[in-house]
Structure 1
Amino acid sequence: MDTITVEELAIPAALDGPDAADFIESVAVSSAVEVDAYGTPEMAITADELLPSYRNQQYEPKRLFVIRQDGRIVARGVYHWVTGEPDVAWTDVRVLPEHRGRGLGSAMAAHLVSLGRAQGRARLATYVPSPDRQGRLDRLWSPTGFGSLPADNPEVRFLLVRGWTLEQVVRGSRLALPIPEADLRRRLDAAVLRSGPRFVRHHWADHTPERWLDDMANLYTNMSVEEPSAGLDEPRDEWSAQRVLDTEANNADRPDVRLLAAVEDAVTGHLVGYTELAVPRDLSAPVSQRDTLVLPGSRGHGLGLLLKLANLVTLQRDHPGHPAVLTFNAEENRPMLDVNEALGFVPIGYEGAWKKVLSYPASE
């Protein structure tokens, strides 16, 4: 068998430079794996959508690795972490379906684990799609008690034999568009009535108004710990107003529009919830439902449903023509799944959230 070489790629500053071809090819590998796993071209992602997150080295550093065969990139791996968080890092391994079973995934996975050990990480996390196309009966259940994966799937066996443990099952869901306008408006009016006059909605695209920078930093920080993460022990990711500005500047050339709806508590004058949609310029591509959060002290007023309905109204008014909205939620996150199901989201696939605890030789 040929020697397997794991090669690190430099992150290009832009996609029109001479060093961008490998990055573009690596994204195509990742996209092909997602499309194959979920069985829909709507899971495809483009290099210009992904590049800004790789340039965000100040706050969320990423390292990108590939394996080539006959000069072609056939596998890629990502290792990333959050600045200031010493315990956990995230990994991602993708191998083109037609090149599996040749040791490429094993080589890439071992390389990423070695990086975690070199950094002294306590644990690693990864999210891996698990197709269930044949309705297999032998299941691996999440320790949360919500959701399961086909136990004999290749990726499940791959992770288990290498010491990873399943911590959570994540559901991918799809909302077909358009939603009848009259129904959407009727439901939004009902949600406004339920929430009452205390909560005031605000909307913007791409750039957070200056008055809300500190509040959005607080919401983003809380999102990192309020989203259910089971046994992954996701770390608290601290945001500041400057980080919000830096992230928006970094995303300025993304080929999508970020629609954000937020809700203010009129008593305190602070934002207590938000939701975000990423809307591609390509009308054939689906919209991505990003994070949604209502702070614990403001729950029980239907604000999550209110925010999502309001943002869908903005989406269909200002950016009509997309086929669907896609979103991902932990199976144990029943409150958010209730909101999504009420809106009409239906499951399209599942992925496992896995953890590997790293061990180190005892010091002598």
Structure 2
Amino acid sequence: MPRRFTIEPLVIPEAPGASGWSDFDAANAVRNVCEAASYGTQDLVRRADEMLPMWQNTEFEPRHGLIARLDGDVVARAVIDTLADPASKHAWLEVLVRPEARGLGIGAALSDAIEQLALDAGRSTFIVYAASPDAPGPRLDAPTGFGSVPLENPEVRFLLSRGYRLEQLNRGSRLSLPADPEAVRRLEADAEAHAVGYSAVTWIGSTPEQYRSDMANLHTRMSTDAPTAGLEEPEDVWTVERVDAEDASRSSADLVPVTAAAVHGATGALVAFSTTFVPAEQNRAITQDDTLVLREHRGHRLGTLVKLANLRAVENDFPGHPSIITFNAEENRPMLDVNEAMGFVPIGYEGAWRRDA
């Protein structure tokens, strides 16, 4: 007799331990199990209480979820993220099923449900980022010309069967800490020699008052200046108020932001930045968030400048963490060159897929 499963909305609790917490915690565990299985490391694990603020504070980044139960247990989840702009047609979707619950139709049912939620919200361009562990056999090449995924992987077959097309490959990389001091010194000397007219500034925690407007601009440009291949991801406008809201969310999530930025001497404006998030537990990996150099300021080693300044701050103020994890588009060779020179090594890859409904 086929095992029965049910799908229902993910209820967001008001606080850890409040009503709905057990389901939220179980849904987060689904994420952790699937990430660890895909990348072969626990470095991507996140606590549920760390993730909760990002689900509660959704004024600027709307998010909704579904869960699937099998025999009463939460074994899968689906997430839809959209822009706050109601005119935007894009939706970012994720469906994850615990390995022991696969092959029962749960992933297909959750995909149907989350895609319908997107359509009901007026979103018709679906983007999915799906990890693709390496495997032998034929490959599906990304149209960018950089990277491929195993054609026979279950997630690849599944997405192709639903009409998605592969647009881009992202590389997950890991830097063991502490970083090689000789490599860091060599890179710092090279960056300083090329970054004439620029300087680095670093802060820990919330964005200083004098940088909030510039950081809003940098975050907005992150959505237009970073390579997105055929995904054609839209501009995501940030304001000072959104910078403040993001700072507040991270603070309540018990993740400490460490930010390094490049100051253009002629104008005093921030023109590049790199942010990491440091968890409270010293034995856990640090997460690299966004790194960007504005297009008009590239060619001066500013990416190296801000990443190294960030690394120095992390190692000085938060010693003992085992690693930093980052993800980059495989065609973003300039950033990968910086990462590789710092000592980052690949841990896995994810495909970026698109479907136009």
Give TM-score scaled by structure 1 length: 0.95
Q: Work out whether residues 74 and 99 of structure 1, in 8 Å CA contact, stay in contact via their aligned partners in 2.
A: yes
The residue aligned with 1:259 is 258
In 2, the alpha carbon distance for the partners of 1:240 and 1:199 equals 25
Structure 1 residue 79, shift from structure 2 partner: 1.1
Give TM-score scaled by structure 2 length: 0.96
Q: Work out whether residues 13 and 20 of structure 2, in 8 Å CA contact, stay in contact via their aligned partners in 1.
A: yes
Q: For residues 186-221 of structure 1, give each alpha carbon's deviation from its aligned partner in whole angstroms, at most 9, with x where no partner exists.
A: 53243223212x112111112111111110000000
In 1, the alpha carbon distance for the partners of 2:180 and 2:223 equals 34
Q: 1:158–1:208: structure 2 CA closer, same or farther, 3 Å change rule?
A: same
What amino acid does structure 2 have at the position aligned with 1:326? Answer: I
Q: For residues 142-164 of structure 1, give each alpha carbon's deviation from its aligned partner in whole angstroms, at most 9, with x where no partner exists.
A: 01111000000011001101111
2:233 alignment partner, SS class: coil
The residue aligned with 1:210 is 209
2:6 alignment partner, SS class: coil
What amino acid does structure 1 have at the position aligned with 2:178? Answer: P
Q: Does 1:187 align with 2:187?
A: yes
Alignment gaps of 5+ in structure 2: none
The residue aligned with 1:158 is 158
Q: Work out whether residues 4 and 107 of structure 1, in 8 Å CA contact, stay in contact via their aligned partners in 2.
A: no
In 2, the alpha carbon distance for the partners of 1:311 and 1:117 equals 40
Structure 1 residue 282, shift from structure 2 partner: 1.1
In 2, the alpha carbon distance for the partners of 1:271 and 1:13 equals 36
In 2, the alpha carbon distance for the partners of 1:124 and 1:53 equals 21
The residue aligned with 2:305 is 306
The residue aligned with 2:61 is 60
In 2, the alpha carbon distance for the partners of 1:166 and 1:175 equals 28
Alignment gaps of 5+ in structure 1: 359-364
What amino acid does structure 1 have at the position aligned with 2:259? Answer: L
Q: Does 1:234 align with 2:233?
A: yes
Q: How does 1:220-231 map to 2 (within 5 A)?
A: 220-231=219-230
1:5 alignment partner, SS class: strand
The residue aligned with 1:201 is 200
What amino acid does structure 2 have at the position aligned with 1:178? Answer: P
The residue aligned with 2:320 is 321
1:17 alignment partner, SS class: coil
Q: Does 1:350 align with 2:349?
A: yes
Q: For residues 229-270 of structure 1, give each alpha carbon's deviation from its aligned partner in whole angstroms, at most 9, with x where no partner exists.
A: 111111100011111112212222222211000111111111
In 2, the alpha carbon distance for the partners of 1:35 and 1:236 equals 31
Structure 1 residue 323, shift from structure 2 partner: 0.9
Q: For residues 18-41 of structure 1, give each alpha carbon's deviation from its aligned partner in whole angstroms, at most 9, with x where no partner exists.
A: 321110110001110000011112
Structure 1 residue 87, shift from structure 2 partner: 0.6
In 2, the alpha carbon distance for the partners of 1:181 and 1:162 equals 48
Q: 1:338–1:183: structure 2 CA closer, same or farther, 3 Å change rule?
A: closer
Q: 1:139–1:180: structure 2 CA closer, same or farther, 3 Å change rule?
A: closer
The residue aligned with 1:116 is 118
The residue aligned with 2:138 is 138
Instruction: After the TM superposition, list the runs of 4 or more consecutive aligned residues in structure 1 that deviate by more than 4 angstroms.
Output: none
The residue aligned with 2:22 is 21
Q: How does 1:33-72 map to 2 (within 5 A)?
A: 33-72=34-73
1:242 alignment partner, SS class: helix
Aligned length: 355
The residue aligned with 1:101 is 103
In 1, the alpha carbon distance for the partners of 2:256 and 2:122 equals 38
In 2, the alpha carbon distance for the partners of 1:247 and 1:44 equals 21
2:133 alignment partner, SS class: coil
Q: Work out whether residues 183 and 342 of structure 2, in 8 Å CA contact, stay in contact via their aligned partners in 1.
A: no
Structure 1 residue 3, shift from structure 2 partner: 4.3
In 1, the alpha carbon distance for the partners of 2:184 and 2:341 equals 12
Structure 1 residue 183, shift from structure 2 partner: 4.5
Q: For residues 26-85 of structure 1, give each alpha carbon's deviation from its aligned partner in whole angstroms, at most 9, with x where no partner exists.
A: 000111000001111222222122112212220111111101112110011101101005
Q: Work out whether residues 149 and 352 of structure 1, in 8 Å CA contact, stay in contact via their aligned partners in 2.
A: yes
The residue aligned with 1:361 is none
What amino acid does structure 1 have at the position aligned with 2:202? Answer: H
Structure 1 residue 341, shift from structure 2 partner: 0.9
Q: 1:187–1:293: structure 2 CA closer, same or farther, 3 Å change rule?
A: same
The residue aligned with 2:177 is 177
Q: How does 1:54-93 map to 2 (within 5 A)?
A: 54-84=55-85, 85-93=87-95
Q: Work out whether residues 179 and 342 of structure 2, in 8 Å CA contact, stay in contact via their aligned partners in 1.
A: no
What amino acid does structure 2 have at the position aligned with 1:222? Answer: R
Indicate the percent of aligned positions where both proteins have the same amino acid.
Answer: 45
Q: Work out whether residues 185 and 313 of structure 1, in 8 Å CA contact, stay in contact via their aligned partners in 2.
A: no
In 2, the alpha carbon distance for the partners of 1:182 and 1:106 equals 50
Q: Work out whether residues 140 and 149 of structure 1, in 8 Å CA contact, stay in contact via their aligned partners in 2.
A: yes
Q: For residues 318-359 of structure 1, give each alpha carbon's deviation from its aligned partner in whole angstroms, at most 9, with x where no partner exists.
A: 11111111100111111111111111111110111011110x
1:43 alignment partner, SS class: coil
